[in-house]
Amino acid sequence: MKLEKLLAFFIPKDKIFFTLFEKAANNLVDISTVFNELVNTPAADKRMDLVKKIEDLEHVGDTLTHEIFTALSTNFITPFDREDIQYLASSIDDIADYIDGSAKRLVIYKIDEYSQPMRQLADIIMRSAVEIKAAVSELKSLENKLRIREALVRINSLENHADDVFDGAIANLFEEEKDAIKIIKLKEILSNMETATDKCEDVANVIETILIKNS
């Protein structure tokens, strides 16, 4: 084997990981944007189209996560610690999963009226996805660590706001709603949406870990 080929075998294919992560972050923005549109759409027929679109985008996310894991198993050297790459990919995928799960529950439970807290949480998820995209896009060079950390701070702030919205929504739900079955349905949907914001914070945490390890 020639020296050039031997060296090429050990050179990390960094672009593979960065490209896939950027695609995953872009897909996350897409799915969160469609979900935000869903909870603000009154027309039932259009809602069904949006739920289907969310499902399709969730499948795109699954494929990208699988490609990241495949690249992880076939590359000897990686740009970051392997466990951080795995955790970042899984966390981004989890957000998409919870968005998809929330959308499907709106249909399965036949929820016709979407509350203000639902719209607020959907907006928070979408804004968090935009910040995740901004942070992920800077990982390639790590030259703008300040910009990354600013995005991470905004994600954490949005997650805290989501906690407040969720707590208020649950308090009002138990105070105002008399139908026990409806309470269970709405609480589960709100919980899924709030968990999506928790997963956004997980993404922020692993990116912060990457920054610390590469400082």
- 77 assigned to some structural domain: yes
Question: What is the number of structural domains in the chain?
Answer: 1
pLDDT of residue 5: 46
Q: Which of 169, 162, 161 is nearest to 116 (CA)?
A: 169
Which structure tokens are listed for 166?
């969720």
CATH of the domain at 108: 1.20.58.220
Segment 49-101, tens digit of pLDDT: 999 999 999 999 999 999 999 998 887 778 889 999 999 999 999 999 999 99
- 8 assigned to some structural domain: no
Domain that holds residue 182: 13-213
Q: For the residues 169-190, what does the mean pLDDT come to?
A: 95
pTM for this one? 0.91
Q: Which of 136, 134, 131, 177 is nearest to 154 (CA)?
A: 131
- 2 assigned to some structural domain: no
- 132 assigned to some structural domain: yes
Q: For the residues 199-211, what does the mean pLDDT come to?
A: 96
Q: Which of 102, 89, 87, 32 is nearest to 62 (CA)?
A: 89
Round to whole Å and give the CA distance between 167 and 66: 35
Q: For the residues 12-28, what does the mean pLDDT come to?
A: 86
Which alpha helices (H) appear in 39-81, and where do they start and end? 44-74
- 154 assigned to some structural domain: yes
pLDDT of residue 3: 40
Q: For the residues 1-16, what does the mean pLDDT come to?
A: 49
Angle at which helix 180-213 crosses helix 145-176, to 10 degrees, equals 170
